[in-house]
Amino acid sequence: MIYESQVHRLLQEERHIDLFPICSVPVDGENIIHKDYSATDNATIGKSFTLPKSKEFCFDKSPTSLEVGNYYHPQSTNCPTIDSLLVQPTPQEPPILLVFQITTSKDEREANKTDLDMVDKLAAADTEKHLVVVTLKGVRPKITVPRGYLTERFLDGRKPDVDFPVYHLQIDF
């Protein structure tokens, strides 16, 4: 819990972050499994951002909308996938929604379909969405994304790793 609160504070500061893609492995069935951390190990950056200094907005139930540059933090445990949200401004449209999942555990983490559907309703239709798993050095949890979330309508024929990428952000103190 101390690590998580420190990470929340850091993510609200103006700071540069590098995100490393967590690649999926071919799996048949209902889920897509992301467990290949070779980009992190090889320092192969997938995306880089300068986070804006942002105010924290806590919520018990889903907010009605998300504003660019604000940091959203659910107060209840009814959003197991989402520890925080940040609509990252970009020089060009559309903005990017960073969905942070903070963990110190190496246990498998599931991207809950209900949480992801809630995020879709909050974000503008053209907003890119990235799941960002924030961990300590050496922590590499397996991330499960339900294939049911990645419908043909959502993906429009594109690959899940491209359209709903999962990234790793390593923060050590």
Interior angle at CA 53, CA 117 and CA 85, nearest 5: 10
- The mean of the pLDDT values for the chain is 84
Side chain identity at 74, as an amino acid letter?
A: P
pTM of structure: 0.88
Residue in this structure with the two tokens 């907003």, named with its chain if needed: 127
pLDDT at residue 78, rounded to an integer: 61
DSSP state of 49: E
Least confident of 37-41, 103-107, 114-118: 114-118
- Show the tokens assigned to 119: 């995020």
Rounded distance, CA 32 to CA 41, Å? 21
Domain ranges of the chain: 2-170
Sign of the CA dihedral running 21, 26, 32, 37: negative
64 or 62, which is more confident? 64
Q: What is the largest CA-CA distance in the chain?
A: 42
